[in-house]
Amino acid sequence: MKTKEELLKEFIKNAEAACANVIPVAGDVYSIKFAVQEITEGENEILVSNSGIIEQSLFEWISDDKKYLKYFDKEKLKNTRTGITPAVCGIASSGSVVIPILDDFTSYISMLVRNHIVILDGKNIVNRPRELFDEENENIFLNGSYSIITGPSATADMGPLVRGVHGPGKLHIIVTEGYDE
Amino acid sequence: MNSKSIHPKEFASKANKDNLFKAIDYALAFESESVRHNTQTFNNNRYRAISQIEDYEELKNRARIIKENSIRNLPFLVEKLTETIEGRGGTVFYAKDKNEAVNFIKEICLSNSVKLAVKSKSITSEEIKLNETLEKENIEVVETDLAEFILQLSKEQPSHIVAPAIHRSRESISELFKENIKTEDPLETGEELTAFASKTLREKFLGADVGITGANLISAEEGTILLVESEGNIRLTTHLPAIHIAIAGIEKIIPTRKDFGVFIELLAASATGQVLTSYTNILEPPLKAPVLNLNKRSDKERKFYLILLDNGRMAMRNDPDLKEALYCIRCSACMNVCANFQTVGGHAFGGEYYTGGIGASWAVGTTGKLEEGRFAELCTGCSRCVPNCPVRIDIPRLNTVIKNRLLELESPSLQKMFFGYFGAMAKIVSKFPSLVNYFMKLNPIKVVLKNLLGVEIEREIPEFAEHTFVELYKKRNSQKHHQGKSEKEKQKVIVFADVFINYNNPTVGINAVELLENFGIHAELSDVYDDGRAALSQGMIQYAEKKAAQTTSYLKNLIDEGYDVIVIEPSVLTMLRNDYKKLLKDDKLYDVIKEKCYDLFEYLNMKIEKGDINIDLIKKNIRFTGEKIFYHGHCQLKSIGLGNEAPEFYRKLGINVEVSTQECCGMAGSFGYKKHYYKISKSLGLSLWEQIKNKFGSKEGIVILASGISCREQLKSFSEKKEKVYHPVEYLNRLISGK
Ligand code: SF4
Ligand code: SF4
């Protein structure tokens, strides 16, 4: 059995190998805010969906800044370049994040923007993809719809490997190293 | 031939033999380079990915069991899935054939006033010719997977089940776009082409009235669809339009989504060589995500339709042989690992929509026409796909069955009989080897062979030896006194006199006997038996079964007397250890044969391991002067896990051996002698030499080793400097004897 720290380390290594930009942060509200600000520098509008997955207090700072849009219409959804969503879980061996498909805009953000920023609780990382379907995780993964996202959208159909096709060309993962400690 | 003078669609169906031959010529001329590059990249990545799954073999067993059970319980699973989806507000339609399926989809589209449909890649939708039907109703159907987008422009059929435009280079895609699309956008680099296609398609996504997808798997219990992709087009297809139509063959149903874990790891590793592809979508439609109506419709809620397609699958399920094809999870590993597929791709080694070794069974099963599976002839039975299939399908066996049924339908050609009855023919011909060898070299005879038997004129027919293995062995024994063994100490060993070693390559046999003696193992020689390999590779199953029965009844007696059996020719050993399982239909007997028949180097390695023989005995007698050695492992030997035995033995002697990475030499018994297939075989022969040159440059003094008789013939045929090619045992004896 791997420890949480080992899983986190492996997750970071494999997510980077899958061409995600991984930013490990302490997990307090400021470290998350700082990481987001750094990635979104120069952006005017950023869509945010939390779906109640990440502790709400960690998102409060968003209200301070008008460029973060918690409420937006479908035109914004269609035209905004950058968006933030939570992940319910990460997978160490593949460096993937699991994004739920709920009755909000979370999954839309994760597919329509060019830059997708994911916030992942570093304690929610499983070892291998198959564990998502283990009885242990029954409450989370044995029903409902999800997309397991591994790196940016990509294709080799036009010859060389190109990142950024129908989905985001950039995937940033802000992974907390344990904010409730 | 000019690439534009003929279109691949013209020879998509291989029902007609000429189409197959035309397709081979076309693919070799225009598609081979891209196909080889792309499939080999997939294949290398796959090897890397599976090496990281520690329990890969166990995972494959689990996948196989899940699929076997699912197919067994299919009617129940269909019922359960229908109930689950309908319970959630979706609609399920069981389509008995393709007409029922397309008509149903057409009706959904018409009743929902659909003008524009976006579609993700789905071979099943190609099987039912969905696009054509919808287009007749003035519904625009847009393929959103970039490879399918290319094919929609080029009007070609897919050349690969995972990467359908694998036959096209960037340059050819650029040319295609420029010829067919009016745009100011640059269309040169991969980035430019991708950017253009995704921009064009984004507009289509936003305006689409319906999204059509396939399914990788569906769980009956939860009604969950697994859809794996890299580009993100499936996500948009299933989210943006409020109406989602999924079409899936009934074989895609498995009991529960708990089983997805096994498949998502195997599928990604086996298909593209990744731990996971960019998006693994686990969907329970109708999705909860809000309806956006960016298409300006006013759909109030999501609608989901699942079309479960039978179209011959239930009949396949009742077919004792073709049933196995239903376990396929369409990963394409069997294509990427296949030397012939790497050379011609799916436009030749494929039919209208299904490609590769597994494709022939699907072409037959879904059309009900045996002739549609004629491209099974391109399966040489090399078996490289078998250990690489995540659900352990015996793909060469399926193709042998199709060849066999075609023989029954069309009666065997003289060519098939010539190669299939090799054992019987060799027995007669070997009475006058010099005469036969002389005639076989004469041009008029070669012309007759070509016209009558379809034997390629460029090929040298292997010579028959002046003295057979049995004759040489007897002569040797009469001249040499063997040190007897004390009964208690010795294991009785017998070398199997197969027809190839006996009539064509007896010196290899004698070398094997000598090597064993060098280790203090006195080997006896068996009677000559035709094991049935030659017949089986022509699809002559019944004759092969007869030969298998005769050979095993002989060998079984020897084994009962306490003999270990050494088999020199790899294709014969794999026949005994692998193919006999199905040919004998007697598991107990098969187990005895499998247990006690050995590859020579496997046997020696095993004896060294057990401490029964001492490698130092030979090590100190060896006169090795540092030659560069290249070993090409026999395809079938590799597939039963013995490809590395000879190099390992050499390494134990302190001799380094470079090992070929080419999956098969391309000769594959009789395949390379057949005039219609010669060019594929030649292309592989040359690429094998290319690999040798890349490894060693064009230095002199390279030693080439190959265990298979046809691998040696193939390597000799295309060697520029007429390098000698040895069986590893032959070369070893030279090192020992200093000759
Ligand atoms: S047995 Fe060999 S030739 Fe036949 S499909 Fe498999 S890999 Fe290809
Ligand atoms: S037969 Fe096996 S290897 Fe080939 S596509 Fe199907 S599952 Fe994959």
Q: In whole angstroms, what is the distance from residue B582 CA to residue B567 CA?
A: 20
Residues B138-169 as b/e (b if ≥16 CB within 10 A, e otherwise) read ebbbbbbbbbbbbbbbbebbbbbbbbbbbbbb
The residue nearest atom 4 of ligand 1, judged by CA position, is B379
- Tell me, yes or no, whether B599 and B627 share the same domain: no
A4-176: CATH topology: Rossmann fold (3.40.50)
Q: In whole angstroms, what is the distance from residue B574 CA to residue B398 CA?
A: 17
| B694 CA distance to ligand 1 middle (Å) | 26
Q: How far is CA B311 from CA B128, B355, B362, B596, B643, in A?
A: 9, 18, 11, 45, 40
The confidence band for A139, taking pLDDT boundaries of 50, 70 and 90, is: low
* Displacement of CA B58 from its chain's centroid (Å): 21
Portion of chain B with pLDDT greater than 70, in percent = 98
- A133 half-sphere exposure, CB direction, 13 A CA radius: 20
Residue B677 backbone phi and psi in degrees, to 5: -110, -5
Tokens linked to B343: 């050379």
Nearest CA to B222 out of B44, B105, B90 is that of: B90
pLDDT digits (tens, 9 = 90+) for B665-695: 999 989 999 999 999 999 999 999 999 999 8
Pairing of strands A82-86, A46-48: parallel
* Cβ-contact A21, A171 below 8 angstroms: yes
Q: How far is CA B177 from CA B27, B32, B149, B150, B185, in A?
A: 21, 21, 11, 8, 11
* SS3 track for B586-614: CHHHHHHHHHHEEEHHHHHHHHHHHCCCC
Of A77, A144, A167, Cβ closest to residue B232? A167
| pLDDT given at position A120 | 95
pLDDT at A58 over 80: no
* Cβ-contact B47, B354 below 8 angstroms: no
Domains of chain A, by residue range, sit at 4-176
Q: How far is CA B518 from CA B101, B510, B604, in A?
A: 69, 12, 11
Chain A residues with beta carbon closer than 8 angstroms to that of B198: 164-166
* E strands in B616-673: 628-632, 658-659
The reply to whether residue B194 touches residue A162, judged by beta carbons under 8 angstroms, is: yes
Amino acid at B417: M
- Tell me, yes or no, whether B588 and B493 share the same domain: yes
Closest atom, ligand 1, to C-alpha of B399: 4
Q: In whole angstroms, what is the distance from residue A33 CA to residue A59 CA?
A: 8
| B725 within ligand 1 shell (Cβ under 6 A) | no
| B392 CA distance to ligand 2 middle (Å) | 8
Query: Residue B683 has what DSSP assignment?
Result: H
Q: In whole angstroms, what is the distance from residue B53 CA to residue B55 CA?
A: 6
pTM metric for this prediction: 0.95
- Tell me, yes or no, whether B604 and B626 share the same domain: no
| B501 within ligand 1 shell (Cβ under 6 A) | no
Tokens linked to B362: 């699907």
- Tell me, yes or no, whether B577 and B636 share the same domain: no
Q: In whole angstroms, what is the distance from residue A129 CA to residue B331 CA?
A: 18
Q: Which of B291, B313, B335 is the last residue of a domain?
A: B313
Q: Is residue B149 part of a domain?
A: yes
Chain A residues with beta carbon closer than 8 angstroms to that of B288: 101-103, 145
The residue nearest atom 8 of ligand 1, judged by CA position, is B338
Tokens linked to B601: 């180097």
* E strands in B590-667: 597-599, 628-632, 658-659
- Tell me, yes or no, whether B75 and B210 share the same domain: yes
**Beta-carbon contacts of residue A85 (< 8 Å; ≥ 6 apart):** A48, A49, A50, A51, A99, A106, A109, A110, A116, A117, A118, A119
User: Count of domains in chain B?
Assistant: 3
Distance from CA of A3 to the nearest CA of B (A): 19
- Tell me, yes or no, whether B195 and B257 share the same domain: yes
Q: Which residues pair with A48 in a beta bridge?
A: A84
Q: What is the largest CA-CA distance in chain B?
A: 96
* Cβ-contact B144, B207 below 8 angstroms: no
- Tell me, yes or no, whether B563 and B626 share the same domain: no
| B213 within ligand 1 shell (Cβ under 6 A) | no
The confidence band for A180, taking pLDDT boundaries of 50, 70 and 90, is: very low
Average pLDDT (B710-721) is: 91
Tokens linked to B479: 């001249």
Mutate to test the pocket of ligand 1, among B334, B388, B638 (most ligand atoms within 8 A of CB): B334
pLDDT at B622 over 50: yes
- Tell me, yes or no, whether B197 and B216 share the same domain: yes
* Cβ-contact B192, B226 below 8 angstroms: no
- Tell me, yes or no, whether B308 and B189 share the same domain: yes
Query: Residue B415 has what DSSP assignment?
Result: H
- Tell me, yes or no, whether B95 and B23 share the same domain: yes
Query: Residue A105 has what DSSP assignment?
Result: S
| pLDDT given at position B188 | 95
Closest atom, ligand 2, to C-alpha of B333: 3
pLDDT at B487 over 60: no
Q: In whole angstroms, what is the distance from residue B243 CA to residue B117 CA?
A: 10
Q: Is the peptide bond before B75 cis (omega within 30 degrees of 0)?
A: no
pLDDT at B175 over 60: yes
Average pLDDT (A165-180) is: 87
Tokens linked to B702: 């390279």
Nearest CA to B104 out of B93, B115, B114 is that of: B93
pLDDT digits (tens, 9 = 90+) for B377-403: 999 999 999 999 999 999 999 999 999
Nearest CA to B456 out of B720, B666, B705 is that of: B666
The reply to whether residue A162 touches residue B205, judged by beta carbons under 8 angstroms, is: no
Handedness of CA B671, B677, B681, B682 (dihedral sign): positive
pLDDT at A138 over 70: no
The residue nearest atom 3 of ligand 1, judged by CA position, is B379
| A172 CA distance to ligand 1 middle (Å) | 42
Query: Residue B433 has what DSSP assignment?
Result: H
| pLDDT given at position B329 | 98
| A100 CA distance to ligand 2 middle (Å) | 30
The confidence band for B417, taking pLDDT boundaries of 50, 70 and 90, is: confident
**Which residues have any ligand 2 atom within 6 Å of their CB?**
B 270, 328-334, 358, 385, 389-391, 393, 395
Domain span including residue B558:
468-614
Tokens linked to B583: 């040919």
Tokens linked to B387: 């250990």
- Tell me, yes or no, whether B545 and B627 share the same domain: no
**Beta-carbon contacts of residue B706 (< 8 Å; ≥ 6 apart):** B631, B632, B634, B665, B712, B715, B725, B726, B727
Q: Which residues pair with B360 in a beta bridge?
A: none
Give the mean pLDDT of chain B.
Answer: 94
Nearest CA to B423 out of B551, B328, B243 is that of: B551
Pairing of strands B658-659, B628-632: parallel
The region of weakest confidence among B68-77, B204-213, B255-264, B712-721 is: B712-721
Residues B32-49 as b/e (b if ≥16 CB within 10 A, e otherwise) read bebbbebbbebbebbeeb
Q: Which of B266, B283, B313 is the last residue of a domain?
A: B313
* Cβ-contact B270, B46 below 8 angstroms: yes
Chain A residues with beta carbon closer than 8 angstroms to that of B191: 162
Q: What is the largest CA-CA distance in chain A?
A: 48
CATH at residue B23: 3.40.50.10420
Q: What does the radius of gyration of chain B's CA atoms come to, in whole angstroms?
A: 28
- Tell me, yes or no, whether B589 and B702 share the same domain: no
Distance from CA of B323 to the nearest CA of A (A): 27
pLDDT at B345 over 50: yes
| pLDDT given at position B483 | 55
| pLDDT given at position B488 | 46
Q: In whole angstroms, what is the distance from residue B287 CA to residue B187 CA?
A: 37
Q: Which of B577, B598, B614 is the last residue of a domain?
A: B614
Reduced to 3 states (helix: H, G, I; strand: E, B; else coil), residue B319 is coil
- B652 half-sphere exposure, CB direction, 13 A CA radius: 21
Reduced to 3 states (helix: H, G, I; strand: E, B; else coil), residue A48 is strand
| ipTM higher than the 0.90 cut | yes
pLDDT at B738 over 90: no
Of B163, B275, B294, Cβ closest to residue A93? B275
| pLDDT given at position B485 | 54
| pLDDT given at position B481 | 59
| pLDDT given at position B339 | 98
Q: Is residue B472 part of a domain?
A: yes
The confidence band for B699, taking pLDDT boundaries of 50, 70 and 90, is: low
Q: Is residue B81 part of a domain?
A: yes
Average pLDDT (B239-247) is: 98
| B673 CA distance to ligand 2 middle (Å) | 28
Tokens linked to B261: 């874990």
Nearest CA to B688 out of B669, B713, B670 is that of: B713
Reduced to 3 states (helix: H, G, I; strand: E, B; else coil), residue B2 is coil
| B19 within ligand 1 shell (Cβ under 6 A) | no
Distance from CA of B158 to the nearest CA of A (A): 12
